[in-house]
Structure 1
Amino acid sequence: MNNLPIIDLIIIAIYLVGMVLVGVYFSRKNNSSDEFTKAAGRIPGWAIGISIYATFLSSNTFLGVPGKAYGSNWNAFVFSLSMPFAAWFATKYFIPFYRSTGEVSAYTNLEKRFGTWARTYAVVCFLLTQLARIGSIFFGISLTLQALTGYNMVAIMLVTGICIVVYTVMGGIEAVIWTEVVQGILKTLGALIIIYLVVMEVPGGFREIMEVGFKENKFSLGTFDLDFVNSSFWVVLLYGFFINLNNFGMDQNYVQRYHTAISEKEANKSVWLCVWIYVPVSLLFFFIGTCLYVYYLNNPEYLNSIKLQAASEQLGLVADNPKVQELASIMKPSGYGDKIMPHFMVTMIPTGLLGLIVSAILSAAMSTISSGMNASATVFTEDIYKRYFNPLATDKTNLRVLYISTVIVGLIGMLCGIAMIGVKSLLDIWWTLSGIFAGGMLGLFLLGLISKKVGNNAAVIGTIVGICVILWMTFSYILPENLSYLKNPFHANMIIVVGTLTIFLVGNLSQRILKK
């Protein structure tokens, strides 16, 4: 077991206590469901923008992005490059639409447009997406803290989860936003510190990193060929555009923030501020991965412990077994993925700074989980409880339901994180799950927003066909070899692209046929 120095433990404890105290402070204002979900519309645009940025910059970014860049290249950075296109669409169409309706839930309009089934379907997709996201982030933070402390990953999830639940339940959306402002600054500072420490350790510094990076093709954004089978530039760009369109247009985490803004203009500012901060900062995390690659290429002896751990896990043997030693000696330096950042932190970051970096990673996890919990609780209360169980509920009852559902979402999210223990790539598992759950939801929403003439029957047909396509693309890999011609030929990231377009196009086509 590794033991963090007492000063680092104190720094981490101060951070956790501070976050809980923020929730206590804002709890005095949460006297109504409107305060809990919209903060009565009094949050400035700059704070919302940093809050959205902090939600994007989760522990998936903090750990998964450097691990991805370390093991391959900068292909995944194309996801960030797609954000301005989605942001333009959001500020032109989504934000004016939501601000005009005044509905705190992103899915109420679907019922008005197509009926109860559409709203229910979107709500289920959203909740599944959030549970997958919260679970992947719990897994990411426990992976890091286990490397630093040696404590059980399940225990780590429970401790951090309790802290998150407490300040989210007590403080509501206002506590979530203002803590994310602090967390966004802390995350960015943590990234800069890590880059500085790695560059200082590489002989030749920045120049050496750039030379080796270009030589090893580490800065590649992927092939520009029209290749939709592998992770080409175009596959990631399309995936990023559609998933960010879903984030800005359908994800309750973001839609709810539009209502907390003082005005529509401030809401628009918040989206663009998020984009202009996130794109360069995400680049920093890719650069960290390349820096770590060059560092360990020059110092392969520092990888011994992680090589032995990976080898023993692969063989199911103890680390000192001769077979493990033999396998570890031939393992490629690029084969460690998400484990490379925790390994560098535990071996190379000095006392004091380590506590700050761990707090930054904790903030990356806590901001996304807390906003996901608050948004999920809001959706459950507005779209399930008030819609189906108690339409005439008092505001006091609604507030109680918000509290209870926040806790339940947090607990289920922890269980999802436990179920993910052992996955190879944190970023890959999150991208795959989000693409599956979000594809149908976004297609239906665009159908309702853009295609004004499409009716309920056509929307049902489009959604059913779209779901079938998504299920086929997701699970066709299990088909036997004699049916290989029926397998999905596209990359997994194309699921949301194809699923969304299928619902939109089939819905429009069905409407034309039904009118004849």
Structure 2
Amino acid sequence: MPVLDLAIFLLYMVAIIGFGVSFSFRKRSSSDYTTGGGRLPAWAIGMSIFATFVSSISFLAYPGNAYSTNWNGFVFSLSIPLAGWVAVKYFVPLYRKLKSESAYYYLEQRFGPWARIYASICYLLTQLARMGAILYLLALPMNSLLGMSIPSIIVITGISVVVYSMWGGIEAVIWTDAVQGIILIGGALACILVIFFEIPGGPSEVFRLANEADKFSLGSYEMDFTTSTFWMILVYGLFINLQNFGIDQSYVQRYLTAKTEQEAKKSTWLGSLLFVPVSLLFFFIGSALFAFYQAQPELLPAGTAGDKVFPYFIVNQLPVGFTGLLIASIFAAGMSTISTSINSSATVILSDHFRKYIDQDPSDKTSLLVLRLSAMGMGLLAILVGLAFNGVTSALDAWWALSSIFSGGILGLFLLGLLSKAKNPQAVLAVVLGVLVIGWMSLTKILIENGLPETLANPLHTNMAIVMGTLTIFLVGFVLAWLGKKGS
């Protein structure tokens, strides 16, 4: 690795870890650790929301997806503005009014302690899957760059993020996210410029070759939910993003870090709207890479495909200095999301489990200790999950499948509480049925291998599991509540 690239990358790593850890030297309370005392500026919170969206899943898997197929995955991003509008209209005022640092306090108020436990465990499992996928993707370019094994890189990267997340709290997360969000946009733009200047024929050749291969297509527009069509991804994206804004601790916690409700709304709009053009940029990189290697096939070794193309390009085609910048950008994207997940997961463990069932009135010192130990524990578990990801064909597809399973349809339970008169027994039955639907849809291949008749197989795309699970919980609970009211 050229000395300049290594210097840029190492300087970034040392600076960002040092910056994050510096927040631990201030006088802090557990409230500062989880909500920043409700004093952070809207622009920084908005950049943090944006940086959480743009993980290394976006930075590496989006270009890999576009390189292998087309822009079908970008349809996911098109659902974000609508989900953001719903968040600003309903979710932000709700959580600001409740004033609880837990996103799942509301579910306990509506349906009892079981709902809070169920939702918080689903959240923790989802975050472990997310962090594991990101750690794996972060390891790909470093594997090409340094020759270190992927497992070694996953362990080193995971520990590095845990250090500043564990000690710095939400302020460290948000301020480092803001810096990293700017860096990753700059890195992506730099990559596009290099492709434009290095491809024979210039920028027009990128558009010509990519267009001829249909690389700008958003997918089929048929109303078919059995395959990855435009409408399937749009519906899936809408449900996932409503869940993100409505019941995801990572986002809800940020609503409480703003000074006022109006500031919280501004930050939500900034984070959600900024992601759309930036995710478009990442998909364009994938199409541009396809054109780049179509024009110069001798530059790409046989067998290099999917998620590994962009890391190979970064290491082998970028000028000295740019490689270090891009690697730093990728780590910026991944570290911002992992740090967010670690901090929010620690908050969930403290609020939804420790304070509920172990010590209902812990001292501030004890709360901080629990937060830091929980952050360390979740970080170490995420490293193990990242090691399990090693060797998957598409990290994006694997992440989407796991997020559908682990979400558990908690958006359906949240909407049931918000939009219906359903009571505890009705909600319990609805959740049981919803989980059964999610399990059947997600595990249909395994069930068939173990004796389930093929006539009972899931006919829809696997990503629709979260959609059908959410709808099952909401509709069953709604109908049961209506029947109960009618019977009385």
Task: Please report the RMSD computed on the Cα atoms of aligned residues, expressed in angstroms.
Answer: 1.2
Which region of structure 1 is more displaced relative to structure 2, 149-158 or 416-425? 149-158
Q: Is the 8 A contact 1:45 1:266 kept in 2?
A: yes
Q: Is the 8 A contact 1:30 1:172 kept in 2?
A: no
CA separation of 1:454/1:482 partners in 2, compared to 1, >3 Å: closer, same or farther? closer
Q: Kindly indicate whether residue 314 of structure 2 is the aligned counterpart of residue 345 of structure 1.
A: yes
Alignment of 1:229-248 (within 5 A): 229-248=226-245
Task: Tell me the distance in 2 between the aligned counterparts of 1:267 and 1:380.
Answer: 24
Q: Is the 8 A contact 1:461 1:510 kept in 2?
A: no
Task: Tell me the distance in 1 between the aligned counterparts of 2:32 and 2:299.
Answer: 51
Q: Is the 8 A contact 1:225 1:232 kept in 2?
A: yes
Task: Tell me the distance in 2 between the aligned counterparts of 1:280 and 1:23.
Answer: 28
Q: Kindly indicate whether residue 218 of structure 2 is the aligned counterpart of residue 221 of structure 1.
A: yes
Deviation at 1:385, TM superposition (A): 0.6
Q: Kindly indicate whether residue 481 of structure 2 is the aligned counterpart of residue 511 of structure 1.
A: yes
SS class of match (2:409): helix
Deviation at 1:24, TM superposition (A): 2.9
Task: Tell me the distance in 2 between the aligned counterparts of 1:112 and 1:430.
Answer: 31
- What is aligned with 1:469? 437
SS class of match (2:109): helix
Q: 2:23 aligns with which of 15, 23, 26?
A: 26
Q: Kindly indicate whether residue 390 of structure 2 is the aligned counterpart of residue 393 of structure 1.
A: no
Q: Is the 8 A contact 1:139 1:417 kept in 2?
A: yes
SS class of match (1:132): helix
Deviation at 1:214, TM superposition (A): 2.1
Normalization by structure 1: what TM-score? 0.92
Q: Is the 8 A contact 2:438 2:469 kept in 1?
A: yes
SS class of match (1:390): coil
Alignment of 1:106-505 (within 5 A): 106-304=103-301, 307-308=302-303, 336-451=305-420, 453-478=421-446, 479-480=448-449, 483-505=453-475
SS class of match (1:158): helix
One-letter amino acid of the counterpart of residue 368, structure 1: T
- What is aligned with 1:326? none
SS class of match (1:145): helix
Deviation at 1:201, TM superposition (A): 1.6
One-letter amino acid of the counterpart of residue 141, structure 1: L
One-letter amino acid of the counterpart of residue 514, structure 1: G
Deviation at 1:475, TM superposition (A): 0.8
Q: Kindly indicate whether residue 11 of structure 2 is the aligned counterpart of residue 14 of structure 1.
A: yes
Deviation at 1:482, TM superposition (A): 7.4
Task: Deviation per CA, 1:350-402: give whole Å up to 9, x if none.
Answer: 11111111111111110000000000000000001111111121111011100
Deviation at 1:245, TM superposition (A): 0.5
Deviation at 1:157, TM superposition (A): 1.5
- What is aligned with 1:91? 88
Task: Deviation per CA, 1:226-255: give whole Å up to 9, x if none.
Answer: 000010011000011010111111111111
One-letter amino acid of the counterpart of residue 34, structure 1: S
- What is aligned with 1:325? none
Deviation at 1:261, TM superposition (A): 0.3
Task: Deviation per CA, 1:137-189: give whole Å up to 9, x if none.
Answer: 00100122111111011211122122211111221100100001110000000
Query: Alignment length, in residue pairs?
Result: 484
One-letter amino acid of the counterpart of residue 442, structure 2: T
Q: Is the 8 A contact 2:209 2:294 kept in 1?
A: no
Gaps of 5+ in 2: none
Q: Kindly indicate whether residue 30 of structure 2 is the aligned counterpart of residue 43 of structure 1.
A: no
One-letter amino acid of the counterpart of residue 443, structure 2: F
Task: Tell me the distance in 1 between the aligned counterparts of 2:424 and 2:452.
Answer: 39
SS class of match (1:134): helix
Task: Deviation per CA, 1:181-236: give whole Å up to 9, x if none.
Answer: 11000000000011011111222222122222222111111111100001001100
Q: Is the 8 A contact 1:30 1:36 kept in 2?
A: no
Task: Tell me the distance in 2 between the aligned counterparts of 1:482 and 1:272.
Answer: 46
One-letter amino acid of the counterpart of residue 119, structure 2: A
Deviation at 1:276, TM superposition (A): 2.1
Which region of structure 1 is more displaced relative to structure 2, 382-391 or 161-170? 161-170
SS class of match (1:260): coil
Q: Is the 8 A contact 1:191 1:285 kept in 2?
A: yes
Task: Tell me the distance in 2 between the aligned counterparts of 1:482 and 1:105.
Answer: 40
Normalization by structure 2: what TM-score? 0.97
Q: Is the 8 A contact 2:122 2:406 kept in 1?
A: yes
- What is aligned with 1:314? none
One-letter amino acid of the counterpart of residue 15, structure 2: G
Task: Tell me the distance in 2 between the aligned counterparts of 1:69 and 1:393.
Answer: 50
Deviation at 1:28, TM superposition (A): 2.5
Q: Is the 8 A contact 1:131 1:413 kept in 2?
A: yes
Q: Is the 8 A contact 2:49 2:272 kept in 1?
A: no
- What is aligned with 1:317? none
SS class of match (2:129): helix
- What is aligned with 1:66? 63
Task: Tell me the distance in 2 between the aligned counterparts of 1:513 and 1:53.
Answer: 43
Task: Tell me the distance in 2 between the aligned counterparts of 1:31 and 1:223.
Answer: 53
Give the ranges of 4+ consecutive aligned residues of structure 1 lying more than 3 Å apart after TM superposition.
none
One-letter amino acid of the counterpart of residue 21, structure 1: G
Deviation at 1:417, TM superposition (A): 0.2
Task: Tell me the distance in 1 between the aligned counterparts of 2:428 and 2:19.
Answer: 45
SS class of match (1:223): coil
Task: Tell me the distance in 1 between the aligned counterparts of 2:306 and 2:320.
Answer: 25
Task: Tell me the distance in 2 between the aligned counterparts of 1:283 and 1:363.
Answer: 18
Task: Tell me the distance in 1 between the aligned counterparts of 2:409 and 2:281.
Answer: 33
- What is aligned with 1:327? none
Q: Is the 8 A contact 1:229 1:490 kept in 2?
A: yes
SS class of match (1:344): helix
CA separation of 1:350/1:252 partners in 2, compared to 1, >3 Å: closer, same or farther? same
Task: Deviation per CA, 1:91-125: give whole Å up to 9, x if none.
Answer: 11100000000000000111111011100000110
Deviation at 1:513, TM superposition (A): 2.7
Deviation at 1:510, TM superposition (A): 1.4
Task: Tell me the distance in 2 between the aligned counterparts of 1:129 and 1:30.
Answer: 32
Deviation at 1:30, TM superposition (A): 4.9
